[in-house]
Every structure is written in structure tokens, then in C-alpha cells.
Amino acid sequence: MARARTGARALFALLATVLGASLAGCSSTGGKRAADAREARTAAAGKAAVSTPRWTFAMVTHSGEGDTFWDIVQKGATEAAAKDNINFLYSKNDEGQQQAQLVQTAIDKKVDGLIVTLAKPDAMKDVVKKAVAAGIPVITVNSGSRQSAAYGAITHIGQDETVAGEAVGDELDKRGRKKALCVLHEQGNVGHEQRCAGAKKTFGGAMQNLYVDGTNMPDVQASIEAKLQTDRSIDAVVTLGAPFADTAVRAKETARSKAEISTFDLNPKVAAALRTGALGFAVDQQPYLQGYEAVDLLWLHRYNANALGGGRPVLTGPQIVSGDSAARLEDYTGRGTR
């Protein structure tokens, strides 16, 4: 009887050893596969997802220094370029003639594709047409949707600024506002004029424009502050770019005004201020998408003669973002993609 028990224990031990070895082998194999997958992902990071020729695309925008909006546009374009095996060149200048010269430089380099903004379309008209005549496919982004097709661009990617302005006017009405100030920070920018005009069109209250020098933030703050101190009936202020929202909030506080501050565009500060209630709402036109899709569509055009929009702009906005939805977007603004 004792020998039987001893034999059973020995058999159990043997089975346990075999089973343990088998499980260890499975675990080892699974672990190796997981490790191999991780290594493959790491090796692929930053490498092109396609094997098409390494074309060169240039993006030339109008933008001031330190503008978080254009940092996001550039990030989207850069990440699409990495995926599409594109040599990506980026330059910017907020003066129309200087921006046109940067486009001419891209033409002289014989780039394979060009992405431009048309904030000051008259200054850009001839050089964009020159690029098209040279056989360089052009996509316009952000501003200039009305001129894009006439200048020969394949398509325009962005939001319709008039429609975006109209959405602001509707939102101000929903919030019960009666008198609003629309702060324009860049002289000659047709998109900014369209935003304020659109808001004025649908807003049931009174709206007036305030022109400021966007390159001088203390001057911007002082101008808004003076207006709020002079006219206590102003109960809403709309800025046209995320960096100006915080400045408007400070002006409100200094003027001891009760006006609600809202803005176009998102960045981390705006998302946080929406969550805390320091800002009423923001109009997001998804700048990451504008940069990413512009590069991607140029690649598709070069690779497969594709085009989107059917002759109409490819809209990326407007999207009204308030405190309820801002928290969900904060992680994305923190990483620089919203």
C-alpha cells in the first residue's frame, strides 16, 4: 500500500514537471512574440509606411512667431510626411509679399508639391498661379477657400470662416449675450474679417470690431481693457486665436468686467480655461487635421491622381467646444495635436 502511494506521488511529480515545462515553453513563446512585436513597433517608429519615391513638399504659411495654432498645423504635416516618405519643408511669414517670396523659393527648388495659406490672397495670387503653371500641384489650407480653385489649387482644407463666424453668433445667442466685441489681431487677414462678419450676421445682439496689433500682447490687453472699461454693457468678447484668449481674460479681470471671453482655436491653456469656466467656449477648426491631410492628399495626388472635395473645400470645422467637452480634449492639447 505504501509502495502504491509512493508510486502515485512520483507519477504526480513527473506530470507536474512536464506540465510546468510545457507552460514555461508557452509563456516563453508568448513572451518572445510580444517582445518581437514591441521591437518591430519600435523599429517602425518614425519610418515611412510607404515605398513611394521621396518627394519634396513645401508648406508656406502666414503666421506670427510663437503661434500655438501653427505649431499644431506643422506637427500634423510633419507626422504625415514621415508616414508618406516625404521630405518636408516648412516656412512662414505674416507679411503677404514675404510669404509670396517664400513660395517663389519653393518653386525655384522645384518641389514636388506645395501647400499654402491665402490669408492675404491678393499678394499670393500670381505666385500660386506660377507654381501651378510650373506643374507643381498646390493645396491651400486654413484661409483662402474662396480663391483656392480660381488660383488653380487641387483643393482647400480648412473651415469656412463665414460659417464658423455664424456658429459663434448662434452660440452667443444661446448664451443670452446682448453686446459682443470681436477682436481682430491681424490687419488685412480676410479670414478674420469673415469670422467677425459671420458672427455679426447671426448674432441677435450688437457686435463691434476691435482692431489690435497682434504682435504686441501688452497693447492687445490694454486695448481690450480700455474698451471694457468704457462700455460696461459689453457682455461677450471673442478673440480670433488661442494665444489672445488668455490676454483677453486678463483684460477682463483688470477692467473688472463681467463679459464672457470666448475664442477661436484650442491649445492647452484654452482647454484648461474652458474646464474651469474662465472661458465660455472655443471654436476648433482642427489644425492638426489641416496639416496632416494637406500632406496626405498631396501624396495621394502624386501617387494615385486622387483629389477630394469635388471642387468644394474639405471642411475641418467649425466645432464648438465648451467646458463639458474640453476635459476630454485636454490630453490631446497636451501632446500638441488639438
- Answer yes or no: are the C-beta atoms of 319 and 287 closer than 8 Å: no
H/E stretch holding 138 reads strand 138-141
| β-strands 236-239, 179-184 pairing | parallel
Which of 243, 262, 284 corresponds to the end of one domain?
284
pLDDT > 70: percent of the chain: 86
Check whether residue 169 and residue 261 sit in a common domain: yes
Identify whether residues 221 and 313 lie together within a single domain. no
296 and 306 housed in the same domain: yes
Domain housing 278: 162-284
Residues 137 and 205 in one domain: no
Answer yes or no: is 149 within a domain: yes
257 and 309 share one domain? no
Same domain, 208 and 175: yes
| One domain, residues 220 and 172 | yes
Domain boundary among 239, 261, 284: 284
Inform me whether the pLDDT recorded for 47 exceeds 60. Answer: yes
- What's the predicted TM-score (pTM) here? 0.79
**Does residue 97 sit within a domain?**
yes
Number of domains the chain contains: 2
- 261 in Cβ contact with 235 (< 8 Å): no
Residues 113 and 261 in one domain: no
Count of other CB atoms within 10 angstroms of residue 176: 11
Task: Report the CATH number that the domain containing residue 207 is assigned in CATH.
Answer: 3.40.50.2300
Residue 81 lies in a domain: yes
Q: How far apart are CA 107 and CA 114, in angstroms?
A: 9
Q: pLDDT tens, 85-104?
A: 999 999 999 899 999 999 99
3 state SS of 268: helix
Q: Is residue 118 part of a domain?
A: yes
Q: Are 117 and 201 found together in one domain?
A: no
Domain shared by 212 and 261, yes or no: yes
Establish whether the linkage from the previous residue to 318 is cis, with ω within 30° of 0.
Answer: yes
Q: Quote the cell numbers at residue 110.
A: 522645384
**Each residue of 138-165: pLDDT tens digit?**
999 999 999 999 999 999 999 999 999 9
Domain edge (last residue) among 266, 284, 302: 284
Q: Which pLDDT value is given to residue 98? A: 97
Q: CA–CA distance from 107 to each of 93, 104, 133 (Å)? A: 17, 5, 10
Domain assignment present for residue 332? The answer is no
295 and 262 share one domain: no
Q: Looking at the domain assignment, is residue 93 inside a domain?
A: yes
- Are 75 and 92 in the same domain? yes
249 found inside a domain: yes
